Amino acid sequence: MKIAILGFGTVGSGVYEILQQKNLAKQFSVEKVWCRPNDTIEIPKFCSNIEDIINDKDIELVVEVLGGIEVPFDLISRMLKSKKHVVTANKAVIARHYDALTDLAKENGVSLNFEASVGGGIPWIKNVELASRIDAISKCYGILNGTSNFILDTMLKEDEDFGDVLKEAQDLGYAEADPSADIDGFDVLNKLIISARKAFNKKLDPDDFFVHSMKQITKDDIHYFKQKGHIVKYIGEITHDEGVISLHAVPETFVEATIPSNNNIASLEGKTIGTLKFYGQGAGKLPTANAVVQDILDISKNISYIDTDNVENNDIIENKTNHYTFVIRTNETIDDALIKEKDGDYLITHPITLADIKKQTQLNDSLIVRVITQEDWHD
């Protein structure tokens, strides 16, 4: 199978490297690499004109690993219209343009795969699809951002403060110069919007979420929760109707409490399978490239895990109003009715709805931590 790669940054060069392995090189040939010219590295099969890829009938599959949204969206669309399969790691494009792109793939009789867009090297999308063939999935949750987990894990283990560890993460290349996507929750939001499509066959919008930044966390906060037997993690969770992305206080005996460094873990709950958890490297050159190559292999073997024409919810999951308990540290005023008790600097809420917490816009710059109990995750 002849392949083109759009983008030759970390992931793109990793995909190229893996495809040179002798077990893969005999099946796949990278014919063209389209990217910005670069004087510092040699780009194999460099191609400066995107039309040369679109018009090359021998190229059956295109890997899109550019940054950004509008350019990749346009290019993925054009490749699908040219009846080329597309594999992408671009979560922002898939989350935003899911219907348009999956429809375009279907109309043109080609595949659009995006395993690497959620959880990096973890085979999450595949395993959600497999589970959904049998079970109605009721919930997904996990640590889906490696940068925020690296920051919290280092703050805990090295007893350092947020700003210092963020700088360290930036120096190591784990965090961007503008870290907002990672620490304010928008990266996780895209991943959960994609997961909801796969797990529930449902379209969640950003408005269906409570998204709260991790940036107010201090080492004193981490000590406070540790004393109570909790480890603080940055976690996202979705049910069929809503999602929450925020700091979570997780009992230290729970699996999620132990996830080290920049690793990820993603869980699903199904009716007959119970809870499944998938752990691995959520980012990084070779793990992410591995997920891209897994998609290439599936497409080349014509493996589709689910019948896209035959997706139905096996069971109706009842809409119910979920309740969440939060711990808040703030200088702002809060409605007394929400607060169950005060513990030093910390206010502990009653179990409240996401609508309740979303109304508290005066808390945008306060610490908000959801508290997890056995009932939330271990039924």
Q: CA-based Rg of the chain, rounded to a whole angstrom? A: 22
Query: Of the two residues 77 and 275, which places its CB atom closer to a copy of itself in the complex?
Result: 275
Query: Of the two residues 23 and 40, which places its CB atom closer to a copy of itself in the complex?
Result: 23
CA 232 vs. chain centroid, Å, equals: 19
Query: Of the two residues 302 and 333, which places its CB atom closer to a copy of itself in the complex?
Result: 302
Query: Of the two residues 135 and 242, which places its CB atom closer to a copy of itself in the complex?
Result: 135
x/- mask, a copy of itself, residues 87-126, rule CB under 8 A, reads ----------------------------------xxx--x
Smallest distance, Å, CB 258 to a copy of itself?
5
Smallest distance, Å, CB 77 to a copy of itself?
29
Within 123-142, which residues bind a copy of itself (CB under 8 A)? 123, 126-127, 130, 133-135
Smallest distance, Å, CB 365 to a copy of itself?
32
Residue 172, interface with a copy of itself (CB under 8 A)? no
Number of residues near a copy of itself (by CB under 8 A)? 49
Query: Of the two residues 163 and 274, which places its CB atom closer to a copy of itself in the complex?
Result: 274
Smallest distance, Å, CB 256 to a copy of itself?
9
Smallest distance, Å, CB 222 to a copy of itself?
15
Within 289-318, which residues bind a copy of itself (CB under 8 A)? 289-290, 293-294, 297, 301, 303-305, 312, 314
Smallest distance, Å, CB 133 to a copy of itself?
5
191 is catalytic: yes
* Sign of the Cα pseudo-torsion (18, 24, 25, 29, in order): negative
Q: Are 284 and 121 in contact (CB under 8 A)?
A: yes
Within 250-289, which residues bind a copy of itself (CB under 8 A)? 253-255, 257-260, 265, 270, 272-281, 284, 286-287, 289
x/- mask, a copy of itself, residues 3-32, rule CB under 8 A, reads -----------x---x--xxxx--------
What distance in Å separates the CA atoms of residue 82 and residue 60, rounded to the nearest whole number? 9
Query: Of the two residues 154 and 349, which places its CB atom closer to a copy of itself in the complex?
Result: 154
Catalytic, out of 191, 198, 219, 340: 191
Residue 350, interface with a copy of itself (CB under 8 A)? no
Q: Are 366 and 331 in contact (CB under 8 A)?
A: yes
Smallest distance, Å, CB 301 to a copy of itself?
8
Secondary structure in 3-state letters for the chain:
CEEEEECCCHHHHHHHHHHCCHHHHCCCEEEEEECCCCCCCCCCCEECCHHHHHCCCCEEEEEECCCCCHHHHHHHHHHHHCCCEEEECCHHHHHHHHHHHHHHHHHCCCCEECHHHCCCCCCHHHHHHHHHCCCCEEEEEEECCHHHHHHHHHHHHHCCCHHHHHHHHHHHCCCCCCCHHHHCCHHHHHHHHHHHHHHHCCCCCHHHEEECCCCCCCHHHHHHHHHCCEEEEEEEEECCCCEEEEEEEEECCCHHHHCCCCEEEEEEEECCCEEEEEEEECCCHHHHHHHHHHHHHHHHCCCCCCCHHHCCCCCCCCCCCCCEEEEEECCCCCCHHHEEEEECCEEEECCECHHHHHCCHHHCCCEEEEECCHHHHCC
Residues that bind a copy of itself (CB under 8 A): 14, 18, 21-24, 121-123, 126-127, 130, 133-135, 253-255, 257-260, 265, 270, 272-281, 284, 286-287, 289-290, 293-294, 297, 301, 303-305, 312, 314, 378
Catalytic residue numbers read: 191
